Structure 1
Amino acid sequence: MDSRAIGRRIAYWRERRRLTQTEFGRLIGKSKRTVQALEAGDRQADPRLSLLELVASVLSVDLLDLIADRPAVERVDAVELERIRTVLQSHALITGSDDADPAEPLPVDVLRDRVRYGWTAFQASHFASLGRLVPELLVTANRAAARHTGDDQLAAYRSLSMALQLTEAASIKFGDENGLATIAGHRAVTAAERSGDPVIMASACRHLADAMTHDGQPRAAADFAITAAGRLEADLKTRGAEGLSTLGMLYLKAAMARAVAAERDDRRAAHDARAVPELLDQAAEHATELGGDGNALFTAFGVTNVRLYRVAAHVQLSEGADAVAAALEIDNDARAALPRERRAHHLADLARAYTQAGQRERAVETLLDAEEEAKEEVRCRPRTRQLIEDLRLLGVGSAEGRLRSLAARCGLPG
């Protein structure tokens, strides 16, 4: 075994678990000096398998994550999701009340910068960092909202809502199946209402609609987003790019919710499918009003993003050929100007469209393009990993070797 490589992996996971070398040493029954030697890969500290098994257990990782020569897959893992859940289920976060920590609340400008940093990391597809950032951000934002007064308190509620929306978005990325995104989404809406800011309210509503769709409630999600748009539209249209962008995103999320609902085998499915293009057209009107592409309040909203959503909606409706045709209408330069996460997400959707259209070699090529844009979007997202598994079962002709290599980089079994 390569002791230096193993040491680097142990150090990486220890730091992700927020353990000092002293704390980690206590947990495995070793001194800090021994931990230092272990992480440095010193030959005299070459670990026995029994110790590595204990280390893996303490760090809550698979033993192969420490000893196998395979690429690390950067994702928010189950331990970090559980840490986020613990914070969301704390008395302070549930009630919006103060905690017992004597620390002074963060100034609202510092808090706003930290929230902006988290959203910037998300849009850059630096997802692994969110597992460490989000729990602390939620605690500090809630504390600021509970302790500040006046305009500072309203600003703190805006930041708290945006932090909860970030929690919701990250939870969906990593396939949380236990309602974490919906919990965060509901609390984001509550914080937004307390802020009194219609832009933050609209942003929180569009994220909750996304969470509700993910949680198996697409029709309720569509109705919620459309109602929110109607309630807030007058105020949003006076708020410039942020107002129009959040308003347009409500219609995009409603469109995707209807597309998901249309998959259901019931009498309302056809009605849901017919509503999708109408909702997309409504979003397109607001994009035209906006006058160009942008990223106001981390929406990436504009004409180009509406076109990306048209592709995604066709894919959701299993209209692969139509999705491929819609993708041809997207300007390459305009797509390249979007945030990395959005570009990679679109390419993953397009790969699914090619699969539906029977062009499986093109699907593999497109997945590789998505990986080049943002490897986390391909290697970490459950929905993309499932597509890779589907392609392996279906067969991809001359792209077999490239698909096999991609599956290995995703940590999928051979």
Structure 2
Amino acid sequence: MTGDSIGKRIATYRRRRGLSQAALAGLIGRSESWLSQVERGVRSVDRMSVLLDLSRLLHVDVQALTGTPWQLAPNGAQRADGIEEVRSALNQYTGLLGGSETIPHLAQIRRSASDAHSDYQAARYASVMRSIPTLIADADSALLHAGPDDREAALSYVETYVVASKLLTKLGVGDLGAVTADRAAMAAGRSDSPAAQGMAVYQVVTALLRSDQVDQAEQLAMRMVQQLGPLVRSDDPALVSVTGALWLIAAVIAARRTEQWEAESRLAEASSLADLLGHDANYAWTAFGPTNVAIHRVSVAAELGNPGAALDAAAAVDLDALPTGLLSRRAQVNLDLAWAQSQRRRDAEATLNLLAAEKAAPEAVAQNIVAREIMRTMLARARRGNGDALQALATRAGVLD
């Protein structure tokens, strides 16, 4: 059975608060017609920030609107296995209480961290989760036994905690995502590497965004690009890539604020750095390059709530130019296109894009609440006998029992 849509839940809580459609729509900067369509299931909530605004105004948790555990999985999935093991590893506080006398080889830690980053970018989240506790224990032990000037130990620690934070933030474990990002940032100062410092700060920005601390995220991202900008050189591709990635996330933040001009300005800064890099790459695990800038143009248009611009931007994206293994990046384009097509009521095309995203990165689709809501919206308006592929996809995604 299809569960209640987000629109139906919004209508229920709006009435309980005694708000008219016109009043609530005005408070979130939307039209009464838009809210009416959402509540009737004609269209979906098109931005995550709108869900957060609605939950605040209706005095309910986001979970009450989405029907899924927001704290554990803001993108709509169930609690992931292995979280408690990660929490236990983080609570060892090796630096204060000591740990194993065995000193892991730094080269092995960095190889394992690289494998975890590769799995993360391929949306193999369960595999990364299994590896994180051991990685954390080894990185902690290596840093404990390192000297104050041991740059390699600090770099190993940063890479380990960055990938841990990426995964935990993606899965919505906000407290642990913030803790791991903060530890990476603290160790980055010992690394004497601007690229590592940028990597760590990028992850703090991401964790802040996931907890809806948009002001702090924006301030930190902009301070970091201003600090790194004068250091950028063509012979340091990692630093070029990290700085470019920070401009991209800053563009998404501007779009979340509906500041179109600022978003486009920041995309232009990232594009200049992509031109300096000269090719699509994956330095410092950023996936940065001209194609990733093009992908972010699609995402920015989607964040601005402009399906036409998203479709136009997608026409310039050549996914085959991406380095091998960046499956979650590929899936994101299809997810943004599915949203845009569903907004245009082109449900067959939206379904094809959802299926393409699932083929590329099934775990990424399973973690995306917008994808699930698109499915609910299209199922509600599907004609009998049509949409068999959509129904099968919705069943796999847990939208249908």
TM value normalised by structure 2: 0.75
Q: 1:408 aligns with which of 390, 395, 399?
A: 395
CA distance in 1, matches of 2:193, 2:312: 39
Q: Which residue does 1:172 correspond to in 2?
A: 169
Structure number with higher helix proportion:
1
Out of 385-394 and 339-348, give the one that drifted further: 385-394
If asked which structure has higher relative contact order (CA below 8 Å, sep 6+), I would say 2
The structure-2 alpha-carbon separation of the partners of 1:108 and 1:352, relative to structure 1 and needing over 3 Å to count, comes to same
The structure-2 alpha-carbon separation of the partners of 1:397 and 1:78, relative to structure 1 and needing over 3 Å to count, comes to same
Out of 158-167 and 372-381, give the one that drifted further: 372-381
By how many angstroms is 1:254 displaced?
A: 0.7
- The answer to whether the 8 A contact 1:259-1:317 is kept is yes
Q: Which residue does 1:80 correspond to in 2?
A: 82
1:145 is matched by which residue type in structure 2? Answer: L
Q: 1:297 aligns with which of 284, 290, 301?
A: 284
What whole-Å deviation, never above 9, does each CA across 1:167-194 have from its counterpart, x for those lacking one? 2211232233x43322222221111112
Q: Which residue does 2:240 correspond to in 1?
A: 244
Unpaired stretches in structure 1, ≥5 consecutive residues: 1-74, 263-271
Q: 1:91 aligns with which of 93, 98, 116?
A: 93
By how many angstroms is 1:310 displaced?
A: 0.5
Q: Which residue does 2:146 correspond to in 1?
A: 148
- The answer to whether the 8 A contact 1:251-1:279 is kept is yes
SS for the counterpart of 1:237 is coil
CA distance in 2, matches of 1:376, 1:390: 21
The structure-2 alpha-carbon separation of the partners of 1:336 and 1:167, relative to structure 1 and needing over 3 Å to count, comes to closer
Out of 111-120 and 100-109, give the one that drifted further: 100-109
Q: Which residue does 1:204 correspond to in 2?
A: 200
2:398 is matched by which residue type in structure 1? Answer: G
The structure-2 alpha-carbon separation of the partners of 1:115 and 1:335, relative to structure 1 and needing over 3 Å to count, comes to closer
By how many angstroms is 1:255 displaced?
A: 0.8
The structure-2 alpha-carbon separation of the partners of 1:374 and 1:398, relative to structure 1 and needing over 3 Å to count, comes to farther
Residue 165 of structure 2 corresponds to residue 186 of structure 1: no
Cα RMSD of the aligned pairs, angstroms, is 2.2
By how many angstroms is 1:398 displaced?
A: 7.0
CA distance in 1, matches of 2:83, 2:324: 31
- The answer to whether the 8 A contact 1:174-1:382 is kept is no
Q: Which residue does 2:68 correspond to in 1?
A: none
CA distance in 2, matches of 1:255, 1:396: 39
1:144 is matched by which residue type in structure 2? Answer: A
2:191 is matched by which residue type in structure 1? Answer: S
Q: Which residue does 2:136 correspond to in 1?
A: 138
SS for the counterpart of 1:195 is coil
CA distance in 2, matches of 1:336, 1:390: 34
- The answer to whether the 8 A contact 2:122-2:325 is kept is no
How many residues of Structure 1 are paired with residues of Structure 2 in the alignment? 325
User: After the TM superposition, which segments of 4 or more aligned residues of structure 1 sit over 6 Å from their partners?
Assistant: none
- The answer to whether the 8 A contact 2:100-2:141 is kept is no
CA distance in 1, matches of 2:373, 2:169: 15
Q: 2:300 aligns with which of 313, 316, 324?
A: 313
Q: 1:108 aligns with which of 103, 106, 115?
A: 106
